[in-house]
Amino acid sequence: MSNNKSTIDFGFSEVPLEEKVKRVKGVFDSVAGNYDIMNDVMSLGIHRVWKRQTIDLSGVRPGYKVLDLAGGTGDLTKAFAKRVGKTGQVILADINESMVRVGRDRLINQGISGNVDYTITNAEALAFPDNSFDVATIAFGLRNVTNKDQALAELYRVLKPGGQLLILEFSKVTNPAMAKLYDFYSFNILPKMGKVIADDEASYQYLAESIRMHPDQETLKQMMLQAGFDKAEYLNMSQGIVALHRGWKY
């Protein structure tokens, strides 16, 4: 959603627009080293299923050029690198240097190299020419972007005609009983887990709050269409805890 105010949400707080990037950077600087462990613990490992379905629906083939925006520690990049092969290319891009460093070291240690590049870039001003990528993904990153409309417009710009964007993100739970249980877990258990595992309760409190401030499924779909995408749809996963939005540039 566009924001004409001088402030923006940072979780449930309002902060000056120019401060959100710095605050989000602080969160991910703090959690980078424990990010993969916490993902497994927080989601009971289900995040791997969500990501696998995203990869399968991407249609990525040998020779494709793929942008993994907010690529973090490289889960999607690793899978895409195997799919695009030697003739393709995957770029792991993130605004946070700590996350890029962790992702690069992790993938190199796992033998993923040759067709993967790494860059630090802001989703609102992508450092790539028009019509560069066959597929772009942003997984669990869009909710941290200050100007989501601008980021969506940039993703549309860098996709080739015929390209596809996939947004994997926490969304609005569709079942009321599940929603109550999820809220209890998010605000009473998740931050405590962050304290025990990562010695960082505040960052995981922010993550829980940022999920609630993110646009719901229909709102994000409309934002994608307004950003220029010719077609947009979404698939709920785990009763809407996560949604996979897909947009096409024709």
Binding residues for S-adenosyl-L-methionine: 73, 94, 122-123
Answer yes or no: are the C-beta atoms of 31 and 200 closer than 8 Å.
yes
Written as six digits, the tokens of 188 are: 């009473």
Phi-psi region of 31 (alpha: psi -120 to 50; beta: other; left: phi over 0): alpha
Burial 3-17 (b: 16+ CB within 10 A, else e): eeeeebbbbeeeeee
Q: Is the dihedral of CA 154, 158, 162, 166 positive or negative?
A: negative
> Residue 119 and residue 199: Cα distance in Å, rounded?
28
Other beta carbons within 10 angstroms of residue 182's beta carbon come to 19
Q: Which residues are annotated as a binding site?
A: 73, 94, 122-123
Answer yes or no: are the C-beta atoms of 52 and 139 closer than 8 Å.
no
Answer yes or no: are the C-beta atoms of 177 and 151 closer than 8 Å.
no
